Amino acid sequence: FQGENIERFRSDFLDYHLYDQAQIYLALSPEERITVYNYLSANEMADMFEIIEEDVESIEEYLLEMNNQYAADMLANMYADNAVDMLKQLKDERIWLYLRLMPTEAAKEIRALLSYEDETAGAIMTPEFVSIVANQTVRSAMAILKSKAPDAETIYYIYVVNVDNVLVGVISLRDLIVNDEDMMISDIMSERIVSVNVKEGQEDVAHKIRDYDFLAVPVVDENNVLLGIITVDDIIDVIDEEAVSDFSGLAGVDVEEQSENPFVAASKRLPWLITLLFLGMGTSTLISQYEGLISDASILSVFVTLITGTSGNAGTQSLAVAVRKIGMQDDEEKNLFRTILSELATGLISGLVTGITIALVIGVWKQNFILGGIIGISMLVAITVANLAGSLIPVLMDRLGFDPAVASGPFISTFSDLTSVLIYFNIAKHFITTLM
C-alpha cells in the first residue's frame, strides 16, 4: 500500500489465487480494506468473496465498510447462491437496500432463492447453469456453451430441457468433447437423470452427490422443471457442517468456536454446563433420599461413580451410533423399531458381560460376593437402560423434527447418571440386610 501504486497492487494481488487473495484481505485492518475497495472493482471483490462466503463470520462488517452501490454490485456479480449465503447474515432492511440497488435481473434471481427454506436444496442452489434443447448438434451446443461459460457456475454438465423448461436429459462436457461434432444432442444425452427436489433436505442432496460421484446435481420442482443446480463445492460445506454439528452435539459445545478469548469461549460453553449442572442436581437430590442407606453401608457410595460412569459410556456409544445411522439414512429407510430393538439387545449383552466381570472383580477384591452381585446386577440394568435411551432419544428427536445430535451427548450422560443411581440404590436397598 505504501506507494499507493494502484497498478502495482492490482497486478500483484490479482495474480494470487482467489483463496489466497481472501486470506490477505481478511488479515488487513479496516482502513486498509477501504483502500482495497478503491483499488478493486466490485466484480473482482465478488470473485474473492465467492470463495470465503461460508467461512467468514463478520460479513456484515465488511459490507458496511463499502459504499452501498459497490456492495450491491459485488453481490450482483456473485453466483446467486453465494450472494444469498451472505445476504442471509444481514438484517432485512439491508437486504432490501442491496436488492434495490442491483440490476433487476440479479435482484430477481436472488429474491427467488431467498424464499426457499433454510436447509433445503433450494437454499443452496444456483440458477447459473447451462441448459440447451435436445434438437441440435454437438457443434451448436458447444457454441452456446462458449457464450454462456463466463456466467455459469459450472459448464461441465449441460442440462437438456424442453420448451416448458422441463428437464429431459443431461450431458457432460466430456461427452460433448469426445463425440463427433455432427452428432445430435438427443442421441448422446443421458435420459436417466438423477435430480433433487427443490424442497429436499441439504443432507440428502449431499449423500446423493457423494454416492454418485457427481460434480453437480440439477434441482427441479414437482413438475420436473429445472430451477437450478447444486455444485460439489457447496456440498463439501454441507458435509462439513453436518459433521461439525454431530460432533458439537455429542460434546455439548460449538466445536467451531473461533475466538481465542477465554471469556467468549466460557460464555458460549457455560449455558450448557449450567443447564446440565441443574439436571445433575436431580441426581444429587435422588441420592440424598438414600443418605440413610449410605450411612448404614458407606461401602455403597464407593461404587456410584463406577456405575454412572460405565452406563454413561455405554449410552454415549449407543447414541453416537444412532445419530450417525439417522444421518446416513434417507427417510424411507428408517426402521425405528428395528434400530431400538437391536440397541436393546446390544445393551443386554454388553450389560451382561460387564455386570458379570464387575461382580467377580468386586467379589474377589472385597471378599463380598453379595456386594459384587448388587453392583453386577445394577450394572446390567443401568447399561441396558442407557443403551435404550441412547438410541431412543435421537430417534424421537428426529421424528419430532429436531436435530437428533443437539447436545445429546452430555444429556445422555446426565440422564444415565440419574437412572443408574435410581437402579443401584433400589437394588441395594433390597439386599441391605443380607449385605450387612
Distance of closest approach, residue 352 Cβ to a copy of itself, in angstroms = 9
91 binds a copy of itself per the rule CB under 8 A: no
Asked if 293 contacts 421 with a C-beta cutoff of 8 angstroms, the reply is no
Site for a copy of itself in 192-211 (CB under 8 A): 192, 194, 209-211
Rounded to whole angstroms, how far apart are CA atoms 139 and 384? 67
Nearer to a copy of itself, 65 or 241 (CB): 241
3-class state of residue 372 by DSSP: helix
161 binds a copy of itself per the rule CB under 8 A: no
Segment near a copy of itself (CB under 8 A); pick from 28-36, 40-48, 129-137, 144-152: 144-152
Contact string (CB under 8 A) for a copy of itself, positions 375-414, x = contact: --------x-------------------------xx--xx
Instruction: Write out the H or E segment, with its range, that includes residue 153.
Output: none
Nearer to a copy of itself, 72 or 316 (CB): 316
**Can you tell me which residue has the cell 453481490?**
75
Residues in a beta bridge with 228: 219
> Which cell numbers hold the place of 366?
472385597
Asked if 308 contacts 420 with a C-beta cutoff of 8 angstroms, the reply is yes
Asked if 53 contacts 45 with a C-beta cutoff of 8 angstroms, the reply is no
Q: How far is CA 72 from CA 3, 64, 104, 223, in A?
A: 29, 11, 12, 33
Rounded to whole angstroms, how far apart are CA atoms 374 and 289? 19
Half-sphere CA count of 116, side-chain side, radius 13 A: 27
- Work out which of 251, 336, 370, 406 binds a copy of itself, going by CB under 8 A: 251
3-class state of residue 327 by DSSP: helix
Crossing angle of helices 408-435 and 304-328, in 10° steps, is 150
Segment near a copy of itself (CB under 8 A); pick from 83-91, 93-101, 276-284, 396-404: 276-284
6 binds a copy of itself per the rule CB under 8 A: no
266 binds a copy of itself per the rule CB under 8 A: yes
Segment near a copy of itself (CB under 8 A); pick from 38-46, 60-68, 120-128, 233-241: 233-241
Site for a copy of itself in 14-73 (CB under 8 A): 15-19, 51
Asked if 386 contacts 395 with a C-beta cutoff of 8 angstroms, the reply is no
Distance of closest approach, residue 172 Cβ to a copy of itself, in angstroms = 10
- Work out which of 265, 336, 432, 435 binds a copy of itself, going by CB under 8 A: 265
Site for a copy of itself in 308-367 (CB under 8 A): 308-310, 312-314, 316-317, 319-321, 323-324, 338, 342-343, 345-346, 348-350, 353-354, 357-358, 361
Segment near a copy of itself (CB under 8 A); pick from 39-47, 99-107, 120-128, 244-252: 244-252
128 binds a copy of itself per the rule CB under 8 A: no
3-class state of residue 180 by DSSP: coil
